[in-house]
C-alpha cells in the first residue's frame, strides 16, 4: 500500500514540478519556435506514457499485494495485448518524430539571400568573420594559420582581402534578417550554441558546418560551447548582440579587414606574397589600408 501511494505521489509531483518549475526556456530570440514546438510534443507524449506506466505500477502494487493463500497466475502470452502495446508504441514514436522531420527540412534549407557570417572556434575562444563589401568570404585553410593570420585565410584570394575579422569582441547580427552561420574549428570538436536562438551545431576540424536563423529580438545573449572540448571548455564563452540594421552597419564600419590587419602586421606585401585584386592587379599594402566604402 505504501509503495502504491509513493508511486502516485511520484506521478503527481512530477507533473506539478513540470508546470510550476521556475527553470524553463529562456525567451526565444530567433525564428526557431518550431524547435520548441517539437520539444513540447515530445514532453506530452513521454509525459502521458510516464504517468500511465507509473499509475499502472501503483495499481498493480495495490491490486496484487501479498495476501495469505493468494496464488500467482501464470499467463505467458497475450497476443491481443501485445498488438495493442506495439501499435500504441509505434503511434507514440511517429507522433514524436514526424514533426522533427519537417523542422529539420527547414533547418537545412537556407533561405536565398541569407547573409553569411563565419564563426571560428578554437580552444577556448570564439572569433568571427564577415564577408566584407563584396559579400563573399575568402577561402581559408588551417595550414595558413600563423601569428599574423589567425583565421588561416588564403592571402592570395581577393575575396578574402575585405573580410572583416572580429577577435576578442562580440558577434553582431542585424534583427529580422536571415543569416547563414558557417562554423569552422581549427583544433578539436566544438559546438556553437546560443540558447535564445535554440539552433546549435557541431564544429568539426577540417569541415565547414552551418545552420541558419533569423534573429527576432534585439539584445545581448551568451554564446556557449556545447561540446566538451578540453579543460578550458567551461570558459569558452562569448556574446552575440542582435541590433537594429543601422546600429549593425555602424558597428561593421569600425571593423578591421584582413588586408588592413596584414598591413598593420607588416606582412601584406613584404614577404614575397602577392595580393591580387578582383580585377587581377597586384595590390600594395597601401591600398589595403583603404576602408571599405560605406556608400556602396
Chain residues in the site for Cu ion (CB under 5 A): 190, 225, 229, 236
* Cβ proximity to Cu ion, 194 vs 225, nearer residue: 225
The three-class DSSP label of residue 233 is: helix
Find the shortest distance in angstroms from Cβ 107 to Cu ion.
22
Q: What is the Cα–Cα distance from 142 to 151, expressed in whole angstroms?
A: 8
* Cβ proximity to Cu ion, 153 vs 229, nearer residue: 229
Find the shortest distance in angstroms from Cβ 227 to Cu ion.
6
Query: Of 291, 281, 129, 119, whose CA–CA distance to 209 is shortest?
Result: 119
* Cβ proximity to Cu ion, 164 vs 229, nearer residue: 229
* Cβ proximity to Cu ion, 133 vs 233, nearer residue: 233
Kindly state the cell numbers that stand for 117: 557570417
Question: Can you name the residues that pair with 125 across neighbouring β-strands?
Answer: 122
The length of the chain in residues reads 296
Find the shortest distance in angstroms from Cβ 47 to Cu ion.
33
Find the shortest distance in angstroms from Cβ 181 to Cu ion.
15
Query: Of 89, 88, 99, 90, whose CA–CA distance to 40 is shortest?
Result: 99
Find the shortest distance in angstroms from Cβ 233 to Cu ion.
5
* Cβ proximity to Cu ion, 162 vs 227, nearer residue: 227
Q: Phi/psi zone of residue 198: left (φ > 0), alpha (ψ -120 to 50 degrees), beta?
A: left
Query: Of 39, 215, 23, whose CA–CA distance to 117 is shortest?
Result: 215
Amino acid at each position: 500500500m505504501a509503495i502504491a501511494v509513493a508511486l502516485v505521489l511520484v506521478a503527481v509531483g512530477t507533473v506539478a514540478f513540470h508546470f510550476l518549475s521556475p527553470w524553463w526556456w529562456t525567451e526565444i530570440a530567433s525564428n526557431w519556435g518550431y524547435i520548441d514546438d517539437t520539444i513540447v510534443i515530445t514532453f506530452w507524449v513521454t509525459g502521458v506514457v510516464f504517468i500511465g506506466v507509473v499509475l499502472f505500477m501503483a495499481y498493480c502494487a495495490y491490486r496484487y499485494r501479498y495476501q495469505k493463500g493468494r496464488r500467482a497466475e501464470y499467463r505467458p502470452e497475450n497476443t491481443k495485448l501485445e498488438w495493442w502495446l506495439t501499435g500504441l508504441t509505434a503511434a507514440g514514436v511517429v507522433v514524436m518524430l514526424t514533426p522533427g522531420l519537417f523542422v529539420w527540412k527547414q533547418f537545412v534549407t537556407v533561405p536565398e539571400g541569407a547573409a553569411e557570417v563565419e564563426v571560428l572556434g578554437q580552444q577556448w575562444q570564439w572569433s568571427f568573420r564577415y564577408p566584407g563589401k563584396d559579400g563573399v568570404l575568402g577561402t581559408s585553410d588551417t595550414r595558413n594559420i600563423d601569428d599574423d593570420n589567425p583565421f588561416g585565410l588564403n592571402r592570395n584570394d581577393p575575396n578574402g582581402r575585405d573580410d572583416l575579422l572580429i577577435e576578442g569582441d562580440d558577434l553582431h547580427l542585424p534583427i529580422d534578417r536571415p543569416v547563414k552561420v558557417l562554423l569552422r574549428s581549427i583544433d578539436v570538436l566544438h559546438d556553437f550554441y546560443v540558447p535564445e536562438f535554440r539552433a546549435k551545431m557541431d564544429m568539426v576540424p577540417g569541415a565547414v558546418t552551418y545552420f541558419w536563423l533569423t534573429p527576432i529580438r534585439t539584445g545581448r545573449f551568451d554564446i556557449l560551447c556545447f561540446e566538451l572540448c578540453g579543460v578550458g571548455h567551461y570558459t569558452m564563452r562569448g556574446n552575440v548582440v542582435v541590433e537594429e540594421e543601422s546600429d549593425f552597419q555602424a558597428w561593421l564600419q569600425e571593423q578591421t579587414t584582413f588586408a588592413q590587419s596584414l598591413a598593420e602586421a607588416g606582412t601584406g606585401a613584404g614577404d614575397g606574397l602577392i595580393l591580387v585584386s578582383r580585377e587581377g592587379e597586384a595590390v600594395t599594402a597601401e591600398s589595403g589600408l583603404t576602408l571599405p566604402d560605406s556608400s556602396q
